[in-house]
Structures are given as structure tokens and as C-alpha cells.
Amino acid sequence: MKFFPILLICAAVVAFSPAQAQGRRSNKRANKPAPAAAPTAPTAPGAAEAEAEAPKTGVRFVVCSPAGVPMPSPLYVRRGKGFKAISISSRTPSERVLPVGGNIDFWDKDPSAAVEGGKKPAAGAAKLPEPIFTIPVPAGIGGKSVCIFSPKKDGKKPGTLFLDEKDFPRKGMHIINLSSYPLQIVTSESSDFKDKKESKIGVFRSEDGISASNSWSFKGEKGQQVSFILSYADQKTKTYKRIKSSTFVLSDRQSVLNVVVKDQTRNMPMLMTIQLPETK
């Protein structure tokens, strides 16, 4: 709460000589120069422009690496007439990037710094270094999408999988099976599993991509708590073995993607969680 000062005007009857002396003291104070205002912190050149140019649509990137192969960080992409450094992690997606001509180029070093003379050219200027890899954006993908990077040990172009964000709305808990193991999820809204519901999640086939058969979603209300048990079908024992059991709480600010992939160190699937906060 803000408080506004109230100007109080007081009048007093005083003797002539004290008033005259008081007037002289007031004049001295009035003529005294006011203290200089504290300097404000300078704004970094181009910071406001870069912030204003941040795209509201485009592709966000996240890493899914069961083998622990890292992605170079940071990576540089085109941002308007210049370049922007972005970080790509495994739990939360990067800033949005707009494709240029249906593609997104990535550099491991600032391209503008490599130009002779140290001048920073426009993103479309000539003599730019070659990107370390280029990712084509599918034509049918929506205005807001997520691309899951699968890094390769040889450092070459990573594998990609695009998700249309409208298929995984907020206030939802979602599972995508990218493994060859059939899955089963059991949910209970009362936590005692007396009201349990079982759902099967099929295996992933690259020719089909992500579909209703290999994905699952729970869309409820803000703050709703749901207990779950996620299991996979063991081919040897012909039974379901548990991957994870826990409770999730639905949020109206983000959706949660649980990606199931094959564990590279064991003959079983593993769960990787990606949080997708809504962007303005």
C-alpha cells in the first residue's frame, strides 16, 4: 500500500527580530544546492531490444538423453537481425526460437564474433560461419511446439521429435511412450486405489510418431491430486513391473510431460520428466 505525504501549513505569530533572523536562515537553506541524484544503473546495449524481440510463438527445445550424452551449451540461434544465446536442458525447455525459411540453425559460438573486423552483421549477412547443425521444422506443426533433442555420442546432428503444445495442454499430466515396452498406468483420485482406473499405453513406432495409442493424458482441475502407478510389461515374466509410483498435483501454470525411453544401461524403460510452463 502506498502512503501519500500530507502538506501541513502552519502559521505562527512571532516577534519581528526573530522572524527576520529566521527568514535569513531560511534563505540560506533555500540557496543551498540540492544534493545530486544517485546515478541509475546503465542499461546494457541492446538489452531492451532483445527483450522486446523475444518471440511469443515458435519452437522450444529440451534434451532427452538416456545415455547421458550432453548438448553443447550455450548454443546460438538467429534472433531478429542478430543472434541469441540459448541454453537447452533436460527438465525445462529453452526460450522460443522462430524458424527462418522452415529451418533453425545452431552455432556453438557467437557467429557475429567470427566476422572480420569484429563488426556484428545482421543475421542474414554473408560470410557467416557454417552452423554446426540445422533442424528443419515440420510444416504441419503448430505455432507453439517443443522439440526433444536426442544427442549423439559423435557430436553430430541430434535426433529430433516435435510435439505440438496444443496436444498437451496446461492442467495436465501426460505420458509419452518412446520405448518398445508396453506400459500400464493405474490412477486413483482417492489415494487408496479403491477407485483405480487402468490404462494401457502402446509402444512407439517412428512411422506413426506420437499418437493416441502411445500417449496418455490426465486433464483435471487446478490443485487436484492423483495417485498413480506406472509399470511396463516384462517380456520374460509376462507381468507388469513398476517404473514409478507417486502422486501428481495439477497446476494451471504448466503441463508435465513424462517421457518413457529405454534405459541404455539396463534392459528396462526409464522415466524422464519435462515441465512445460506456459509462455506469454
* pLDDT tens-digit readout, 148-207: 999 988 878 999 999 999 888 777 899 999 999 999 999 999 989 999 999 999 999 988
Q: pLDDT tens digits for 246-265?
A: 999 998 888 999 999 999 88
Report CA 54 to chain centroid distance, whole Å. Answer: 13
Percent of the chain, pLDDT > 70? 76
- Cα 228 to Cα 43, 69, 170, 173, 189: the distances in Å are 49, 30, 19, 11, 9
The C-alpha atoms of residue 119 and residue 253 are separated, in whole angstroms, by 41
Q: What pLDDT score was predicted for residue 46?
A: 42
In the numeric block, which cell numbers belong to residue 206? 517412428
Question: Could you tell me which residues come within 8 angstroms of residue 185 by beta carbon, excluding any fewer than 6 positions away?
Answer: 175, 198, 199, 201, 216, 228, 229, 230, 231
Q: What pLDDT score was predicted for residue 34?
A: 42
One-letter amino acid identity for 54? A
Give mean pLDDT, residues 116-138. 75
- Is residue 41's pLDDT more than 50? no
Picking from 86, 68, 66, 70, the residue whose alpha carbon sits closest to that of residue 78 is 86
| Residue 107 burial by Cβ neighbours in a 10 Å radius (0-12, 13-18, 19+) | buried
What is the pLDDT confidence band of residue 120, given thresholds at 50, 70 and 90? low
In the numeric block, which cell numbers belong to residue 268? 528396462
- DSSP bridge pairs for 255: 276
pTM > 0.85: yes or no = no
One-letter amino acid identity for 58? G
Question: Could you tell me which residues come within 8 angstroms of residue 206 by beta carbon, excluding any fewer than 6 positions away?
Answer: none
Lowest mean pLDDT among 25-34, 88-97, 98-107, 152-161: 25-34
Q: pLDDT tens digits for 201-213?
A: 999 998 888 999 9
Please tell me whether the peptide bond between 66 and the residue prior to it is cis, using omega within 30 degrees of 0.
no
- Is residue 272's pLDDT more than 90? yes
- Is residue 3's pLDDT more than 80? no
**Count of Cβ atoms closer than 10 Å to residue 161 Cβ:** 17
Give mean pLDDT, residues 129-143. 93
One-letter amino acid identity for 226? V
Q: Which is more confidently placed, 126 or 181?
A: 181
- Cα 100 to Cα 40, 78, 109: the distances in Å are 38, 8, 19
Q: What angle do CA 150, 187, 200 make, to 5 degrees?
A: 60
Mean pLDDT score of the chain: 80
Q: Is 123:82 a contact under the CB 8 Å cutoff?
A: yes
Q: What angle do CA 276, 277, 278 make, to 5 degrees?
A: 115
Q: pLDDT tens digits for 190-235?
A: 989 999 999 999 999 988 889 999 999 998 888 899 999 999 999 8
- Is residue 278's pLDDT more than 90? no
Lowest mean pLDDT among 8-12, 86-90, 106-110: 8-12
- Is residue 7's pLDDT more than 70? no
